Structure 1
């Protein structure tokens, strides 16, 4: 499972642009930044909004295009092309704004369900986009509190 962050336009939260982006409907003229990304065809399995609302774009057992060029060492071997076997969860946010409790709670709830459903997914296989593409990506960034997420994950 790969955790990401996204805000569109960068640093702004709450609009429809993320959904438009993941469904290839982002208007490149609506914001100067959008012209640089509107041609991309990317997706995630799930978006967790600032209020904890979950929006699913791709079924968890299908491929989503969230990882890009990526590598992961699974303890036995290095693997690439993580889109082929990973679940991508986007948190509405950026790398400097604190994530909200509602997001951590929703992420923990979803993660517990995924851990129960997918036996090969264990907590040690939950990582960040930054760790699978370290020279290219930095999300979800230092604003994401991994220790707090793990505590939330332990609560029922």
Structure 2
């Protein structure tokens, strides 16, 4: 059967509704409807870091946490987060592999108590991306590559005006992704205006034009 030009174009797009076609889909039960907002209000990307147990990679425990299937008795650290119900839209492994747990049209539970660009409750109007890593440590080149491509694809569907770390939207409460994250590298890959980035990440850059 010959596919119509419109169908061929649709399958070439990076999105299937709020789901990214390149991501491994693993649906989390931890999500909700966004408030009644114009689509242009989804204008913030929040970058996080996570590893379970902290500093251990490739365990599959992050995916289990986001889908409420983590065995709380599998590691002593898990007792400190027992019963936690959280999620993120995306998770990027050290290899660059991309996972998605919540449609970007829905509200994931990644930001917690937060405030940015004059608005509170950033879960309502942001998209959360978790990088496999530990705050203060460095991240891998494939992660930056996947993150940059993902951010550019998100911008194709949503009116992104800001990108920030969890530490910037919940200062004093959160420290991720931390000083090991290279904001300059991400900026150079995205070529977005500096005004979209937190002021604290702009050291060493020329002033915005």
Same fold, judged at TM 0.5 (above):
yes
Shift of 1:96: 2.6
Return the alpha-carbon distance in structure 2 between the equivalents of residues 99 and 143 of structure 1. 7
Using CA pairs under 8 Å that are at least 6 residues apart, name the structure with larger relative contact order, 1 or 2.
Answer: 1
Q: 1:93-134: CA deviations, max 9, x gaps?
A: 011321011000000000001111112x12xx1001001100
From the CA coordinates, give the structure whose radius of gyration is larger. Answer: 2
Q: Write the distance in 2 (CA, Å) between the matches of 1:85 and 1:99.
A: 26
**Cα separation, 2, equivalents of 1:96 and 1:128:** 13
Instruction: Check conservation: 1:27, 1:38, Cα contact below 8 A.
Output: no
Within 5 Å, give how 1:38-77 maps onto structure 2.
38-73=82-117
CA distance in 2 between counterparts of 1:97 and 1:51 reads 16
Moved over 6 A (4+): none
Quote the residue 2:57 is aligned against: 13
Question: Which structure 2 segments of 5+ residues have no match?
Answer: 1-44, 192-209
In 1, Cα distance between equivalents of 2:47 and 2:116? 14
Does the aligned pair in 2 maintain the 1:5–1:94 contact within 8 Å? yes
Deviation per CA, 1:47-72, whole angstroms, max 9, x where unpaired? 00000000000011110000000011
Superposed, 1:3-152 pairs within 5 Å as 3-73=47-117, 78-119=118-159, 121-122=160-161, 125-152=162-189
Deviations 1:32-56 (A, max 9, x none): 1111113110000000000000000
Q: Could you state the TM-score of these two structures normalised by the residue count of structure 2?
A: 0.69
Normalised TM-score (structure 1): 0.92
Alpha-carbon distance in 2 for matches of 1:96, 1:142: 5
Please give the root-mean-square deviation of Cα atoms over the aligned residues, in Å. Answer: 1.2
